[in-house]
Structure 1
Amino acid sequence: MQLTGKVAVVTGAASGMGKAIAVLYAKEGAKVVVSDIHEEAAAAVVEAIKAAGGEALAVKANVAAEVDIQHLIDTTVSTYGTLDILVNNAGIMDNFEPAGDIKDENWEKVFAVNTTSVMRATRKALPIFLEKQYGVIINVASVGGLYGARAGATYTATKHAVVGFTKNTGFMYAKSGIRCNAIAPGGVETNIGASMTGINEFGMGRTQPGLALNPATGQPEQIAALALFLASDASSFINGTVVTADGGWSAY
């Protein structure tokens, strides 16, 4: 098992990629804190992990709230004694809004969940990592953080910001035993589309050519396998970069 003895926090872990990552980490020996805004769904993931012989804890957290981030990491340390791996996976979509149609409240909400939460969780975890000169941070970005025709302007901006934050963090703490990388998934079967409440027709029309290039839809377990690699010692020389997992979408 590749993560024996490690303690991992996974946000947005009640479904989709986060759930797949949490389940695989537990299978590989990690003690996993399953964090999500949906408490009952997170608890169900924990029960499944325990039923398979793993160890896990559910912690309700709205990652857009600083107090919840503080509680999440503090609970992890008080329960398991430390933190080794932080997976910033929680995220929401915009409504494919172009710049001219962005509403301030939507911009602020999507940034709070997709970007500010990544900074706050990383900031909270760093003192733990620095003290023991070890830590792994994995941020779930998106191909939307690499290209302009995959989502609306707000989501695209948030994921570009996550990519930049990842590169800077990886470089800044490279000499402190801390690695920070991002995964840029392409189209993956998750329920993130449920976070959209009214698709902007113009924005969707403009991004449709880019969306239509997608050659395949991935499964959460395929992203989880990459997250396992990046969390393990097998990727010890990979730092401050973005690994794209999109079935060849961006190769076009």
Structure 2
Amino acid sequence: MDLGLKDKVVVVTGSTGGIGEAIVEAFLREGAKVACTSTRQEKLDRFLPTLDYPADQFKGYVVDVRKEDEVAAAMDQIAADFGGIDIVIPNAGYNGDAAQLKDATDENWRNVFDINVFGVMYSIKHALKYMLKNEWGSVVVIGSEGSYVGSPEMSHYCASKHAVMGLVMSAATEVGPEGIHCNFVAPSAVDTDMMRRIEKNIFGDTKTPEEAERFFADASLNKRYAKVEEVADVTVFLASKTAAHIMGYGIRMDGGKHIQ
């Protein structure tokens, strides 16, 4: 199937984490040109040399998505380097410190919302001006199961992911008529370093890593975590011309845990 992604310019935020790296490689395989952003140059220096693709097909950029001026400048530079922007994948995310609502702090909540909500909004906002010029584009936000459910000691994270769902749906109503489709992917537990941190946040030393993983994995019908490659493949599909008539929706990747 031709997904129509050859030579499309894709921006992936949080590109040096587990899901981000898989998304970058999935787009490169389809012939897209990929701008890889990360908060730290050393992460880009580690990841980019592992990509076995022509050097002009990808480039790294240091961006703190919490800062609108940095996001705006990066989008302008990416557009100058690649000749425009067709697709943006706001993937950068942060789970914060586990805490019950009675113990909530402004610092913990703001740290999560600055990345998970404002970072997503800034990324979409400053990529849109280039997509609107093209009268075509795609936004695929990497959300979470937390966009649909609540979780003890994770009210800050779940609230941020619910906000992202509303943001994507609202964006779709605004730019859908301009040929830009906006959607999000909502995985539950994915086999990543972030998931290891979530396990540690919730269970501390009360469970071994194997016990913590089994606790979450057993909730899925197939009794395992999602693979980063699976999340990446769904993301690429949603970004493609094949999915152009899907607007404002989330694809839940939870192993069927919520149909029982």
Question: Structure 1 length normalisation: TM-score?
Answer: 0.90
TM-superposed CA distance for 1:154, in Å, is 0.2
Which string of whole-angstrom CA distances, capped at 9 and with x for unpartnered residues, describes residues 188-236 of structure 1? 01122476698367xx9xxxxx946243201110000001101111111
Query: Taking structure 1 as reference, are residues 243 and 198 closer, same or farther at Cα in structure 2, changes over 3 Å only?
Result: closer
CA–CA separation in structure 2 for the residues paired with 1:151 and 1:88:
25
Which string of whole-angstrom CA distances, capped at 9 and with x for unpartnered residues, describes residues 133-168 of structure 1? 111001111001100127601000000000010111
Q: How many residues align?
A: 246
Q: Do 2:100 and 2:152's aligned partners in 1 also have CA atoms closer than 8 Å?
A: no
The 5 A counterparts of 1:241-252 are 241-252=249-260
CA–CA separation in structure 1 for the residues paired with 2:238 and 2:198:
30
Q: Does residue 155 in structure 1 map to residue 157 in structure 2?
A: yes
Gap regions ≥5 residues in structure 1: 205-209
Q: Does residue 62 in structure 1 map to residue 68 in structure 2?
A: no
Query: Taking structure 1 as reference, are residues 200 and 216 closer, same or farther at Cα in structure 2, changes over 3 Å only?
Result: closer
Q: Do 2:98 and 2:201's aligned partners in 1 also have CA atoms closer than 8 Å?
A: yes
**Which amino acid counterpart does residue 121 of structure 1 have in structure 2?**
S
The equivalent residue for 1:98 is 100
Q: Do 1:95 and 1:200's aligned partners in 2 also have CA atoms closer than 8 Å?
A: no
The 5 A counterparts of 1:129-144 are 129-144=131-146
**Which amino acid counterpart does residue 90 of structure 2 have in structure 1?**
N
Percent identity among equivalent residues? 28
Q: Do 1:94 and 1:151's aligned partners in 2 also have CA atoms closer than 8 Å?
A: no
1:213 to 216, 219, 233: 219
Aligned-residue CA RMSD (Å): 2.4
TM-superposed CA distance for 1:67, in Å, is 2.2
Q: Do 2:140 and 2:185's aligned partners in 1 also have CA atoms closer than 8 Å?
A: yes
Q: Do 2:226 and 2:255's aligned partners in 1 also have CA atoms closer than 8 Å?
A: yes
CA–CA separation in structure 2 for the residues paired with 1:43 and 1:233:
32
TM-superposed CA distance for 1:74, in Å, is 1.3
For the residue of structure 2 that corresponds to 1:251, the secondary structure is coil
